[in-house]
Amino acid sequence: MVTAHAPGKVYLFGEHAVVYGEPAIPCAVERRATVTVEERSDARLRVDAKDLQLEGFTVEYGETGGDPAVEAPNPMLEAATQYVDGAVSQARDAADAPEAGFDVTVESDIPLGAGLGSSAAVVVATIAAAASELGVDLDPREVADRAYQVEADVQDGQASRADTFCSAMGGAVRVEGDDCRTLDAPDLPFVIGYDGGSGDTGELVAGVRELRDEYDFAADTVAAIGDLVREGEALLEREDEGALTELGRLMDFDHGLLEALGVSARSLDSMVWTAREAGALGAKLTGAGGGGCIVALDATDATETALTYEAACEQVFRAELATDGVVVE
C-alpha cells in the first residue's frame, strides 16, 4: 500500500491564455489531494472517493473501464473514473504492468471544479502512488508529463501543462507551451475566497476560443494576458515591497482582461471588489472562472475578515505557497 499527496494551485497570472501558447504562472498552495493505492489480485479497479468536497462514493469496475453503474453527479464520476482511470493507465504503462488492478482511495481538501487544480492534484498523486505500488519511483517531471497526458485526453486536447506541472513540482512555476520551469518566488500572502460553486472548464475554454476566433480584440486580449505574465515574472525576481504592490496591480489588470473574455461571474466579481476595498494589494479570479475561487494578496487580516461577511463568499482561507510538489510516503 502506497500513499501520495499533491498540492492544488492558484493562478497568479495567465489562465485561459496559456491554452494558446502564452505563458502562465501558477503557484502551488497547501491544499492537497491524498491518494492511497493498493494492488489487487485481479485486474479490476475500485475507487473510493471519501471527500472531493462533495458527497463521497465508491465505485468498482472491470479492467476495460466503461461507465460504472453508480448514481452520482457528473463531476464526481469524471473525477472518479476518467481522471483516476487515466492516471492508473499511466502508472501501468510506466511499470509495464497492463493487467494490474488497484484499490484507490481519494481524499482531498481542494474544492472540486473551483479553479484550485483539484483534478490535476488527484491525477498527479494517483500516478505517483500507483507507480510506486508497482515498484517504479517516477521523477516529478515524468509524473507531470504523464498527468498532462491524462488531462489532455479527458479535456479533449484543451488542457495546458500548467496545473499538472505545478502540482507535481510545487512552488511557483512558469509554463509556456511545452516549456515548463520552476521559479524562485517569495511566500506570497494568498487569501482565497470560494463561492461554493464551480464553472464548466470545457464550456468556458470553448467560449474563449469562439470569441478569439470571431473578434480580433479577443485575440489581442489573450496576447495582452501573455504580456502581463512576462511583466509579473520579472517582478517575482524582486523582493522589495514595491514589487509586491505592483504584482497586485497586475492581478487587478488580469482580472479585467478575463472579464472581457467573458469568464468571470457576478459572485467572483463581488469577492474581488470586496477584497480590493478591504485593502488587498490585488485580487482576481483563479482557474477557468464561471464560479469557484478568487485569489487576493494581503498580508493583513483585513481581506480575510471582509470576505467572511461577503454574501457571495461561502468559504475564505489563507493559503501558504506549497514548496513541495508531489510526495510519496
What gap in Å lies between CA 101 and CA 97, rounded to an integer? 9
Q: Tell which residue, 309, 243, 250, has the closest CA to residue 275.
A: 309
**How far from each other are the two terminal CA atoms of the chain, in whole angstroms?**
10
What gap in Å lies between CA 172 and CA 321, rounded to an integer? 8
Cell matching residue 227: 504580456
DSSP 261: T
187 has catalytic annotation: no
**Cα radius of gyration (the chain):** 19
Cell matching residue 279: 485593502
- Tell me which amino acid residue 58 is: T
Maximum Cα–Cα distance across the chain: 59
What gap in Å lies between CA 286 and CA 207, rounded to an integer? 17
What gap in Å lies between CA 217 and CA 229, rounded to an integer? 18
Q: Out of 163, 195, 254, 298, which one is annotated catalytic?
A: 163
Q: For residues 321 and 27, is the Cβ–Cβ distance under 8 A?
A: yes
Q: Which residues contact 310 (CB under 8 A, 6 or more apart)?
A: 193, 270, 271, 274
Among all residues, which ones are annotated catalytic?
A: 163
